[in-house]
Homo-oligomer: A and B are copies of this chain.
Amino acid sequence: MRIAVDAMGGDNAPTAVVEGAVLAAREYQVEVLLVGQQELIKEHLSNYNYETGKIEVIHASQVVLMDESATEAVRRKRDSSIAVAARLLKSGDADAMVSAGNTAAALATTRVILGKLKGLARPAIATVFPNAIDFTVLLDVGANAGGCGPEHLLQFAVMGAVYAMDVMGKKNPKVGLLSVGEEKSKGSAITLDAFPLLEQSSINFVGNVEGKDITNGNTDVVVCDGFVGNVILKFAEGIGEMIFDLIKEELAQSRLAKLGMFLALPALKRFKARVDYQEYGGAPLLGINGGCIIGHGKSNAYAIKNAVRVASEFVSHRVNEHIEQYLRTMREI
Protein backbone atom coordinates (compact mmCIF):
# COMPACT_ATOMS: atom_id res chain seq x y z
CA MET A 1 0.00 0.00 0.00
CA ARG A 2 1.22 3.50 -0.84
CA ILE A 3 0.50 6.46 1.42
CA ALA A 4 1.23 9.99 0.17
CA VAL A 5 2.42 12.23 2.99
CA ASP A 6 2.40 16.02 2.70
CA ALA A 7 5.96 16.70 3.83
CA MET A 8 5.38 20.47 3.96
CA GLY A 9 2.28 20.50 6.19
CA GLY A 10 2.28 21.30 9.90
CA ASP A 11 4.15 23.50 12.33
CA ASN A 12 7.07 21.09 12.49
CA ALA A 13 7.36 20.36 8.77
CA PRO A 14 9.35 19.01 7.14
CA THR A 15 11.52 17.77 10.06
CA ALA A 16 8.83 15.95 12.05
CA VAL A 17 7.01 14.77 8.93
CA VAL A 18 10.09 13.20 7.36
CA GLU A 19 10.98 11.49 10.64
CA GLY A 20 7.41 10.26 11.06
CA ALA A 21 7.42 8.90 7.51
CA VAL A 22 10.63 6.99 8.20
CA LEU A 23 9.15 5.53 11.41
CA ALA A 24 6.00 4.49 9.53
CA ALA A 25 7.99 2.93 6.68
CA ARG A 26 9.98 0.92 9.22
CA GLU A 27 6.99 -0.22 11.25
CA TYR A 28 4.13 -0.74 8.79
CA GLN A 29 3.59 -2.58 5.55
CA VAL A 30 3.39 0.67 3.60
CA GLU A 31 5.38 2.60 1.08
CA VAL A 32 5.50 6.30 1.89
CA LEU A 33 5.50 8.95 -0.83
CA LEU A 34 6.89 12.13 0.69
CA VAL A 35 5.42 15.04 -1.26
CA GLY A 36 6.98 18.50 -1.24
CA GLN A 37 10.17 20.38 -1.94
CA GLN A 38 12.42 17.66 -3.21
CA GLU A 39 15.83 19.01 -2.21
CA LEU A 40 14.72 19.86 1.30
CA ILE A 41 13.06 16.49 1.89
CA LYS A 42 16.06 14.59 0.58
CA GLU A 43 18.33 16.57 2.87
CA HIS A 44 16.21 15.58 5.89
CA LEU A 45 15.89 11.99 4.70
CA SER A 46 19.68 11.64 4.57
CA ASN A 47 19.67 11.62 8.39
CA TYR A 48 17.85 8.30 8.54
CA ASN A 49 18.30 4.68 7.59
CA TYR A 50 15.40 3.01 5.87
CA GLU A 51 14.74 0.21 3.47
CA THR A 52 15.21 1.33 -0.14
CA GLY A 53 11.93 1.37 -2.01
CA LYS A 54 9.84 2.06 1.11
CA ILE A 55 10.16 5.85 0.81
CA GLU A 56 9.91 7.86 -2.39
CA VAL A 57 10.13 11.62 -2.79
CA ILE A 58 7.66 13.36 -5.11
CA HIS A 59 8.35 16.98 -5.91
CA ALA A 60 5.79 19.73 -5.41
CA SER A 61 6.94 23.29 -6.00
CA GLN A 62 4.44 25.13 -3.80
CA VAL A 63 3.55 25.13 -0.11
CA VAL A 64 0.18 26.07 1.42
CA LEU A 65 0.73 28.13 4.56
CA MET A 66 -1.09 27.24 7.77
CA ASP A 67 -3.23 30.38 7.80
CA GLU A 68 -3.74 30.73 4.07
CA SER A 69 -7.29 30.94 2.70
CA ALA A 70 -8.50 27.61 1.37
CA THR A 71 -10.01 29.21 -1.74
CA GLU A 72 -6.73 30.95 -2.52
CA ALA A 73 -4.81 27.72 -1.98
CA VAL A 74 -7.05 25.86 -4.42
CA ARG A 75 -6.89 28.60 -7.04
CA ARG A 76 -3.30 29.71 -6.90
CA LYS A 77 -1.35 26.75 -5.60
CA ARG A 78 -2.10 23.96 -8.05
CA ASP A 79 1.35 22.55 -7.46
CA SER A 80 1.17 22.60 -3.66
CA SER A 81 2.21 19.49 -1.75
CA ILE A 82 -1.45 18.95 -0.81
CA ALA A 83 -2.61 19.17 -4.42
CA VAL A 84 0.17 16.92 -5.71
CA ALA A 85 -0.64 14.34 -3.01
CA ALA A 86 -4.34 14.46 -3.93
CA ARG A 87 -3.49 13.94 -7.61
CA LEU A 88 -1.42 10.89 -6.65
CA LEU A 89 -4.62 9.45 -5.15
CA LYS A 90 -6.63 10.44 -8.20
CA SER A 91 -4.23 8.68 -10.58
CA GLY A 92 -4.05 5.60 -8.38
CA ASP A 93 -0.35 6.13 -7.61
CA ALA A 94 -1.22 6.44 -3.93
CA ASP A 95 -3.95 4.72 -1.90
CA ALA A 96 -4.45 7.41 0.75
CA MET A 97 -2.85 10.61 1.97
CA VAL A 98 -1.82 12.31 5.20
CA SER A 99 -1.40 16.02 5.82
CA ALA A 100 -0.74 17.92 9.04
CA GLY A 101 -1.09 21.16 7.13
CA ASN A 102 -3.90 23.65 6.63
CA THR A 103 -7.09 21.62 7.22
CA ALA A 104 -9.41 23.90 5.28
CA ALA A 105 -7.04 23.87 2.31
CA ALA A 106 -6.73 20.09 2.44
CA LEU A 107 -10.50 19.76 2.48
CA ALA A 108 -11.03 22.22 -0.38
CA THR A 109 -8.19 20.81 -2.47
CA THR A 110 -9.15 17.14 -2.09
CA ARG A 111 -12.77 18.04 -2.72
CA VAL A 112 -11.89 19.69 -6.03
CA ILE A 113 -9.37 17.09 -7.16
CA LEU A 114 -10.97 13.89 -5.83
CA GLY A 115 -14.62 14.86 -5.56
CA LYS A 116 -17.19 13.60 -3.11
CA LEU A 117 -18.42 10.07 -2.48
CA LYS A 118 -21.42 8.99 -4.49
CA GLY A 119 -24.69 10.03 -2.85
CA LEU A 120 -23.05 12.30 -0.31
CA ALA A 121 -24.14 15.92 0.05
CA ARG A 122 -21.35 17.27 2.24
CA PRO A 123 -18.01 15.97 3.49
CA ALA A 124 -17.22 16.30 7.19
CA ILE A 125 -14.14 16.38 9.35
CA ALA A 126 -14.24 13.79 12.12
CA THR A 127 -12.12 13.86 15.22
CA VAL A 128 -11.41 11.06 17.63
CA PHE A 129 -11.79 12.12 21.27
CA PRO A 130 -10.52 10.13 24.21
CA ASN A 131 -13.33 9.16 26.58
CA ALA A 132 -13.49 7.43 29.95
CA ILE A 133 -13.28 4.00 28.27
CA ASP A 134 -11.79 4.35 24.80
CA PHE A 135 -12.64 6.82 22.03
CA THR A 136 -15.58 8.75 20.65
CA VAL A 137 -15.83 9.96 17.06
CA LEU A 138 -17.14 13.53 16.91
CA LEU A 139 -18.21 15.02 13.59
CA ASP A 140 -18.46 17.48 11.92
CA VAL A 141 -15.72 19.54 13.56
CA GLY A 142 -15.36 22.17 10.90
CA ALA A 143 -15.94 21.19 7.27
CA ASN A 144 -19.33 22.92 7.47
CA ALA A 145 -18.60 25.68 9.93
CA GLY A 146 -21.35 27.84 8.48
CA GLY A 147 -23.93 25.26 9.54
CA CYS A 148 -25.63 22.15 8.20
CA GLY A 149 -29.15 20.88 7.63
CA PRO A 150 -30.82 17.84 9.21
CA GLU A 151 -30.13 15.64 6.18
CA HIS A 152 -26.42 16.43 6.46
CA LEU A 153 -26.42 15.36 10.10
CA LEU A 154 -27.94 12.04 9.02
CA GLN A 155 -25.15 11.49 6.50
CA PHE A 156 -22.52 12.45 9.10
CA ALA A 157 -24.01 9.79 11.34
CA VAL A 158 -23.57 7.20 8.59
CA MET A 159 -19.96 8.22 7.96
CA GLY A 160 -19.13 8.32 11.67
CA ALA A 161 -20.67 4.90 12.27
CA VAL A 162 -18.77 3.32 9.37
CA TYR A 163 -15.52 4.88 10.57
CA ALA A 164 -16.09 3.63 14.12
CA MET A 165 -16.78 0.13 12.82
CA ASP A 166 -14.03 -0.10 10.23
CA VAL A 167 -11.12 1.77 11.78
CA MET A 168 -11.94 1.63 15.49
CA GLY A 169 -13.32 -1.89 15.47
CA LYS A 170 -16.62 -1.05 17.17
CA LYS A 171 -19.50 -3.40 16.52
CA ASN A 172 -22.81 -1.67 15.94
CA PRO A 173 -21.54 1.70 17.25
CA LYS A 174 -23.93 3.81 19.30
CA VAL A 175 -24.64 7.09 17.54
CA GLY A 176 -25.91 10.13 19.45
CA LEU A 177 -27.19 13.49 18.23
CA LEU A 178 -25.54 16.32 20.15
CA SER A 179 -28.19 18.47 21.81
CA VAL A 180 -29.12 20.27 25.01
CA GLY A 181 -31.07 17.49 26.69
CA GLU A 182 -31.87 13.84 26.22
CA GLU A 183 -35.54 14.39 25.55
CA LYS A 184 -36.59 14.23 21.92
CA SER A 185 -38.28 17.61 22.32
CA LYS A 186 -35.06 19.43 23.23
CA GLY A 187 -32.74 20.99 20.71
CA SER A 188 -32.27 23.51 17.94
CA ALA A 189 -34.48 23.68 14.85
CA ILE A 190 -31.90 21.56 13.01
CA THR A 191 -31.45 18.85 15.63
CA LEU A 192 -35.22 18.61 16.12
CA ASP A 193 -35.60 17.88 12.41
CA ALA A 194 -32.62 15.55 12.32
CA PHE A 195 -33.93 13.40 15.20
CA PRO A 196 -36.68 11.56 13.26
CA LEU A 197 -34.36 11.05 10.28
CA LEU A 198 -31.84 9.32 12.54
CA GLU A 199 -34.56 7.43 14.37
CA GLN A 200 -35.96 6.03 11.14
CA SER A 201 -32.56 5.05 9.78
CA SER A 202 -30.85 1.71 10.29
CA ILE A 203 -28.16 3.40 12.37
CA ASN A 204 -27.90 2.34 16.03
CA PHE A 205 -29.27 5.71 17.11
CA VAL A 206 -29.32 6.27 20.88
CA GLY A 207 -31.12 9.60 20.72
CA ASN A 208 -30.05 13.03 21.87
CA VAL A 209 -26.85 13.22 23.85
CA GLU A 210 -25.28 16.11 25.74
CA GLY A 211 -21.80 17.61 25.89
CA LYS A 212 -20.81 15.25 28.71
CA ASP A 213 -21.57 12.22 26.55
CA ILE A 214 -18.61 13.03 24.30
CA THR A 215 -16.27 12.03 27.12
CA ASN A 216 -18.16 9.58 29.36
CA GLY A 217 -17.86 6.61 27.03
CA ASN A 218 -21.61 6.07 26.58
CA THR A 219 -21.62 7.02 22.92
CA ASP A 220 -19.32 5.87 20.11
CA VAL A 221 -20.24 8.51 17.56
CA VAL A 222 -21.52 12.01 18.32
CA VAL A 223 -23.01 13.96 15.45
CA CYS A 224 -23.20 17.74 15.33
CA ASP A 225 -23.14 20.80 13.19
CA GLY A 226 -19.69 21.92 11.97
CA PHE A 227 -19.94 25.16 13.94
CA VAL A 228 -20.66 23.43 17.24
CA GLY A 229 -18.09 20.71 16.61
CA ASN A 230 -15.35 23.16 15.79
CA VAL A 231 -16.01 25.22 18.91
CA ILE A 232 -15.88 22.06 21.04
CA LEU A 233 -12.67 20.83 19.42
CA LYS A 234 -10.89 24.10 20.12
CA PHE A 235 -12.38 24.40 23.59
CA ALA A 236 -11.08 20.92 24.42
CA GLU A 237 -7.59 21.90 23.33
CA GLY A 238 -7.82 25.09 25.36
CA ILE A 239 -9.05 23.38 28.50
CA GLY A 240 -6.25 20.82 28.25
CA GLU A 241 -3.63 23.55 28.02
CA MET A 242 -5.20 25.53 30.84
CA ILE A 243 -5.26 22.57 33.22
CA PHE A 244 -1.64 21.78 32.41
CA ASP A 245 -0.52 25.40 32.92
CA LEU A 246 -2.41 25.90 36.17
CA ILE A 247 -1.10 22.66 37.69
CA LYS A 248 2.44 23.61 36.66
CA GLU A 249 2.01 27.02 38.27
CA GLU A 250 0.82 25.53 41.57
CA LEU A 251 3.53 22.85 41.60
CA ALA A 252 6.21 25.48 41.08
CA GLN A 253 5.38 26.85 44.51
CA SER A 254 6.47 23.77 46.45
CA ARG A 255 9.48 21.46 46.23
CA LEU A 256 7.63 18.67 47.98
CA ALA A 257 4.81 18.88 45.46
CA LYS A 258 7.31 18.75 42.62
CA LEU A 259 8.93 15.67 44.13
CA GLY A 260 5.48 14.14 44.50
CA MET A 261 4.65 14.75 40.87
CA PHE A 262 7.97 13.22 39.92
CA LEU A 263 7.02 10.02 41.74
CA ALA A 264 3.64 10.02 40.06
CA LEU A 265 5.15 10.71 36.64
CA PRO A 266 4.85 7.20 35.14
CA ALA A 267 1.14 7.12 36.02
CA LEU A 268 0.64 10.63 34.68
CA LYS A 269 2.42 9.70 31.47
CA ARG A 270 0.10 6.72 31.03
CA PHE A 271 -2.79 9.12 31.56
CA LYS A 272 -1.36 11.55 29.02
CA ALA A 273 -0.95 8.77 26.47
CA ARG A 274 -4.64 7.97 26.85
CA VAL A 275 -5.79 11.52 26.13
CA ASP A 276 -3.09 12.57 23.70
CA TYR A 277 -4.16 13.30 20.14
CA GLN A 278 -0.77 12.12 18.95
CA GLU A 279 -1.74 8.57 19.82
CA TYR A 280 -4.76 8.19 17.62
CA GLY A 281 -3.27 9.77 14.59
CA GLY A 282 -5.38 12.47 13.12
CA ALA A 283 -8.78 13.42 11.87
CA PRO A 284 -10.23 11.77 8.77
CA LEU A 285 -11.85 13.86 6.06
CA LEU A 286 -14.98 11.80 5.53
CA GLY A 287 -16.96 11.95 2.33
CA ILE A 288 -14.03 12.67 0.01
CA ASN A 289 -13.51 10.17 -2.78
CA GLY A 290 -10.15 9.07 -1.42
CA GLY A 291 -8.70 8.50 2.02
CA CYS A 292 -7.33 11.66 3.56
CA ILE A 293 -6.17 11.86 7.18
CA ILE A 294 -5.47 15.28 8.67
CA GLY A 295 -2.84 15.46 11.38
CA HIS A 296 -2.84 18.08 14.11
CA GLY A 297 -0.85 21.17 13.12
CA LYS A 298 1.49 20.51 16.04
CA SER A 299 2.08 16.87 15.03
CA ASN A 300 5.43 15.43 16.00
CA ALA A 301 7.03 12.46 14.24
CA TYR A 302 5.12 10.01 16.39
CA ALA A 303 1.78 11.61 15.49
CA ILE A 304 2.68 11.51 11.79
CA LYS A 305 3.57 7.84 12.06
CA ASN A 306 0.20 7.11 13.66
CA ALA A 307 -1.60 9.13 11.00
CA VAL A 308 0.05 6.95 8.34
CA ARG A 309 -1.21 3.87 10.20
CA VAL A 310 -4.74 5.27 10.32
CA ALA A 311 -4.56 6.11 6.60
CA SER A 312 -3.55 2.53 5.83
CA GLU A 313 -6.40 1.17 7.96
CA PHE A 314 -8.79 3.53 6.21
CA VAL A 315 -7.79 1.89 2.93
CA SER A 316 -7.55 -1.72 4.06
CA HIS A 317 -10.93 -1.60 5.80
CA ARG A 318 -12.48 0.02 2.72
CA VAL A 319 -14.19 2.82 4.66
CA ASN A 320 -15.25 4.78 1.60
CA GLU A 321 -16.73 1.75 -0.12
CA HIS A 322 -18.77 0.99 3.00
CA ILE A 323 -19.99 4.58 3.31
CA GLU A 324 -21.19 4.57 -0.30
CA GLN A 325 -22.87 1.21 0.25
CA TYR A 326 -24.65 2.50 3.35
CA LEU A 327 -25.82 5.65 1.59
CA ARG A 328 -27.10 3.58 -1.34
CA THR A 329 -29.02 1.26 0.98
CA MET A 330 -30.62 4.25 2.68
CA ARG A 331 -31.75 5.69 -0.63
CA GLU A 332 -33.29 2.38 -1.65
CA ILE A 333 -35.37 1.96 1.51
Chain A positions near chain B (C-beta within 8 angstroms):
130-132, 142, 145-147, 178-181, 186-189, 191, 210-216, 224, 226-228, 230-239, 241-243, 245-247, 250-251, 253-254, 256-268, 270-271, 274-275
Instruction: State in angstroms the CA–CA spacing of A115 and B145 once bound together.
Output: 36
Instruction: State in angstroms the CA–CA spacing of A197 and B127 once bound together.
Output: 33
A13 to chain B, nearest CB (A): 21
Instruction: State in angstroms the CA–CA spacing of A302 and B270 once bound together.
Output: 34
Contact A187 B246, CB 8 Å, known A215-B238, A228-B228, A232-B231 = no
* Top-9 shortest CB links A-B: A260-B263, A211-B235, A212-B238, A211-B234, A260-B264, A257-B267, A145-B180, A215-B238, A250-B267
B241 and A270 contacting across the interface, CB-CB below 8 Å: no
A122 to chain B, nearest CB (A): 15
- Complex partner residue of A132 from B226, B232, B242, B262, CB under 8 angstroms: B242
| A-B contacts, 13 listed (Cβ < 8 Å) | A132-B246, A142-B180, A179-B227, A191-B227, A210-B231, A211-B230, A215-B235, A215-B242, A228-B228, A246-B275, A259-B263, A260-B260, A260-B265
Whose C-beta in chain B lies nearest to the C-beta of A252? Answer: B267
Query: Which residues on the B side are within 8 Å of A238 (C-beta)?
Result: 211-216
The number of times this chain is found in the oligomer is 2
Whose C-beta in chain B lies nearest to the C-beta of A224? Answer: B231
Contact A267 B253, CB 8 Å, known A188-B227, A260-B261 = yes
Instruction: State in angstroms the CA–CA spacing of A224 and B230 once bound together.
Output: 13
- Complex partner residue of A239 from B239, B247, B265, CB under 8 angstroms: B239
Query: Which residues on the B side are within 8 Å of A262 (C-beta)?
Result: 260
A215 and B241 contacting across the interface, CB-CB below 8 Å: yes
B227 and A212 contacting across the interface, CB-CB below 8 Å: no
